[in-house]
Structure 1
Amino acid sequence: MPPKCKPSPSREGPSFLARTSGFNSQAWPLTADNLSQLQDEFAAAGADTRLRSGSLSAASDNSHEMSTKFAMLEKLALSGIMVDRGTSPPESVQALVTQLRGTLRAVASPSASHMAGNAHMAREGHEEHSNRILGADLALAAHDEAGGHPWTDRHSNVQLSVNFLPSATDVMPAQHFEQARPAICNGYRKGLMTDGASVSFTTDEERCIATKEVRNPRTQNLFSMALLDLMLFPWFTVQCKQDRSLYKADMQGARDGATINEYLRSVFRTAQGSNSAAEPDPLNIAHFSASFDGYIICLWVHWYKADTQEYCMERIKFFRADEEDDILEYRQFLRNLEDHAMGDRLNDIKAALRTINAQPAAAPAAAPATATPAKRPRGRPKKVQPVPAPAPAPNSPPSLRRSGRFGKTVAE
């Protein structure tokens, strides 16, 4: 039988603090009246009860935030996406990160000063408001903007094909991800609809991307090589959140990066041919992204770890959004990344496209055999002769039927 709760103590007699402290103290139930007495006596003693109340509220908020974060990390891990586990990148990827961080191209940046001066404005509104104010500073300019590379494009809220979204096959539907949708995306400019423009891919290469299929090594299904409609082969993505929710932007960025890793893996595995089981160079599959919450920019690198079949995402560095020196370093990294994207990375992709374009059409995966239904003959159907009713047995009772408007039963 459960113990009975003690009644709330009377406000008369010794103070509540005296009754609940010391060697002879007793436990009292957590009731509104008891809490009210405790707060009144703290206030009379000069204690700031508002601070205590705020601390409890903050602790509750932090507990809920941590619970949400762990649930999101578990959901990612079920699909093989590992975030900030301290995993060392492959040598080729680590060498690229070191190269991108080590070379400074300029000592000043208009975007760095603009972002440092306007970060406080981006924190005042919703995510779309933040993108409008700082979108051009968080990513690189498009070809038609000041300072933009003629082969670079930038778009907001692009949707990546669900065909390359990593997802677990043995979990509940609620554990699957929504379609990857970066807030900001840099990629190669499309040129099929552009007259006389300087573009990164030739017409034949873009036609190959639009018409050829690649085999997803995870599902063994054939899918269109086009990952998205507005640009080609994205090489930098950004996720933005507000209210200091950087971890939410990190988790969505992990989903985006893993999708692009799986897409690049499908392209380069297809270029190697169906008879090759070797994994492509991790450098060809690597991707870079950033997450932003109005206060902090976190730079990430993504790659595929073949021996454990995991999509890894590790932090490169934090940058303070309102510190111009930090943003200058961040912008220099992006400029160096653009140089790499327009150089070695583009050449590797072009080589893969030439190989895929020369291959015969890939055969679809064999479907399970099913029985083929017999075809119905054409023409007028044959007239079916009615089957005569069997003769009644001797000495059997007469059959009954209903007759007339009111269904009167009569014997035949």
Structure 2
Amino acid sequence: MKLLFSLSVLILLLLNISLLISAFSMRKWSTINSNKNLGLFSCTDCEQLQDNWNFECLARSACENDSKIGECNLYKDLYKGSFGFLVLEFGSLLMSLLFLEKLILLILKFPTGPRPSFIGTGISMLIFHVIGTIIWFRYSEAGTECSSENNSDARPSVCMSTGASIAIANCILMGGTVTLFIIGFLQSTTLERTIYIHKKFIWISGTIWLWASLVFGFITLILMLGSLTVKNWVKSQGSLGSLFRCDNCDSIKWMSWSCLQGTACETNTDSNDCKFYKKLAHASDYFICLQALSLILLIFYMQSLTAFVKCKEYGSKYMNYAYPVLLFMFNVISIISWFATSEGIVNDECTDGDICVRSGPKLAIASNFTLLVSVGLFLIVYCRRSEENLSFEEVDLKMRTSMSVSPVKINNVTPDDTQYIKN
């Protein structure tokens, strides 16, 4: 791709990413009854709105009251729509960052990996965003006009506002970005690059160590996802809780810590319940943010590791060092921040007032050890690598024409053997 063409796609992509991020923080996504502004996750100016109450809290509260059936249905639908949008927008953001990385590498003339994966990240970014936007509109039933009638039995109509308009505009803009990129990229050629030769470490092939690193990387991913989804995170005062919710802290089962905080702190900010729920709500917020960043870095790291396993060059060597190191740092900081904020302790016998950890934090801690093994093995092999500044076609030609190697050996050659196949 020509430099000017690539820079044009880069500018459009940065605009797509900025719109993705701004949509999350937009306070006006829609309106109800012509006078209440709704954000993506909560009502921003509703009367008597308790602190930190999102659509889930509002739905659970309204559904307890038979006289608020309309509001109950509204907030349930808005919660489902916002949650689906959040998950798919995170996927779109991840794909957009991968796409941005590859585009920058292309401009700087670094290897970008297989061509199909380059195109695939761009298309996936668009698909995730479009589906997320459709899901939000499907559940919110937002339109351009809404009635101001206030009937407790009828679900209030929703009017789309700035945030929803940005999401729609980004669908169109993102489609243009991906189309423009594909047109230019298919007309370009891929430069031949260096291959890596994995040296042995402790008499074992470097390739075997890399496969072990990849396996530990996948185990880390499983542990990270498991820690986020397991229901057995904490136990305190006879209550069992997950990372985000409490089983029996309220008359409503599995109420979120943020909802409980809003209720308790609205009554008395100095109460023990308020302080207790606030600690766990803030701890879960810090943990999920840092874990989201860790998951993004893990995908970047696994991408580089997969290419290196195949003896292919990917990106810059400084980038390949930075990803695993930053990943390990953020993963460690995430669990430290949770313990520091929640003041959780590792103790099987929980006394009154203590926050005792259960399976969730232990899975998060275990992920640090498996990640340390994966990163350590990768860095050892990567530091000991040697390079062959030939294209794969040239290496294959040398292998086939070398008089010192038989055809049988050529067919069974491994990355560790290529260091001996030279003129």
TM-score between both structures, scaled by the size of structure 1: 0.25
Larger Rg: 1
TM-score between both structures, scaled by the size of structure 2: 0.24
Greater share of residues in strand: 1
**With CA pairs under 8 Å and 6+ residues apart, which has the higher RCO, 1 or 2?**
2
